[in-house]
Chain A
């Protein structure tokens, strides 16, 4: 059950709401709720395959997903409406917060709180890794691939590109022979 494609204004408006609701991440979940569940713009299967594509493609997943949905609904202009709609409010808010922060920087209490906040924010990344492990790490081989990538970039400090050039083919090859 898929509804007729919405107007560009509707796409921009819905994605603006999604952008505003997404405090602390979770953009993809909001997009699924609106595009599939509430508005029937696409089927569950269409959405899932789009998510997979956006994970394979470079770039921020949630931003990619907005482009994918927009493209599916109304081509080039639909993609622009979804992308700009989703980013407009967060961009303004983040820049205002950055500007405000620059003014109170140097106050010892603020700096301490920001270090704590940073520590918590790093925890968000690590926790996302833990949660992704359940679906993406199936055995010792895939765990070893993830470990090599994490250590070589995160601890040894190797740059991303050479690591990917080696580990992507290795991982794809291993996935071909496992299971």
Chain B
């Protein structure tokens, strides 16, 4: 039973690892669907809470996978999820690093980078939209999200300050 869950975690996150194109945020919609709908490990609201925790903690936001693993199968789950999420992509980057130095002047490089950029931007927006679609995210929460977006996009306020303000607002509004 426990082994079966760990295998599911390993399979899910090893796959997402190689699909996390641009940043780990790009696989948030798929991660959410798997955790909430496919495996029914948690509700949409619980997933958003884990996402929020990963954002106020130090380190890469992708550590949300450790929280999902912990929620599903404790410490072993966290370890399996984290290794599965980082292992495959890290191995690939390690192998590519050498190759990259050898092709640094190739003309296709600039074209590839130009083609990948718009897709990466689309994926980032997709992650935000997918999280907002959650049933728990009412009108007030949507306005709060838009306000936080505006402040973070066009000012240099520290993200933690904005997150703290959003948390206080959520508490004050009784979201």
Q: Which residues of A contact B (CB under 8 A)?
A: 19-25, 27, 49-50, 52-64, 67-68, 71-72, 76, 79, 83, 86-87, 89-91, 93-95, 97-99, 101-102, 105, 108-109, 112-133, 135-138, 142-143, 145-155, 157, 159-161, 164, 167-168, 171-176, 178-179
Contact = CB atoms under 8 A, between A and B. Distances in A.
B144 A55 contact: no
Contacts of B165: 120
Counting chain B residues whose Cβ lies within 8 A of the other chain, the interface size class is 35 or more
Contacts, number: 370
Contacts of A27: 59-60
A113 B141 CA distance: 11
Nearest to A99: B70
B114 interface: yes
A149 B90 contact: no
* Interface secondary structure of A, over-half rule: helix
A172 to B, nearest CB: 4
28 contacts: A25-B61, A25-B159, A49-B100, A50-B97, A53-B96, A53-B100, A55-B120, A58-B20, A60-B20, A63-B90, A71-B94, A90-B57, A93-B58, A95-B78, A98-B71, A116-B144, A123-B148, A125-B128, A133-B121, A135-B117, A142-B118, A145-B119, A146-B122, A149-B122, A153-B123, A153-B130, A172-B111, A179-B114
B92 A129 contact: no
Contacts of B124: 125-126, 128-129, 132
A61 B116 contact: no
B118 A24 contact: no
Contacts of B33: 157, 159
Contacts of B145: 119-120, 122-123, 126
B122 A116 contact: no
A58 B55 contact: no
A175 B115 contact: yes
A27 B119 CA distance: 22
Contact of B90 (A79, A148, A178): A79
A160 B16 CA distance: 9
B51 A118 contact: yes
Given A91-B59, A153-B122, 14 more contacts: A55-B120, A62-B60, A86-B59, A87-B86, A90-B58, A91-B63, A91-B66, A94-B67, A117-B55, A122-B149, A124-B55, A126-B128, A152-B126, A154-B130
Contacts of A60: 20, 23-24, 60-62, 85-86, 89
A118 B113 CA distance: 32
Contacts of B58: 19-23, 89-90, 93
Given A57-B89, A94-B66, A160 B29 contact: yes
Contacts of A146: 118-119, 121-122, 125
Given A64-B93, A164-B19, A125 B25 contact: yes
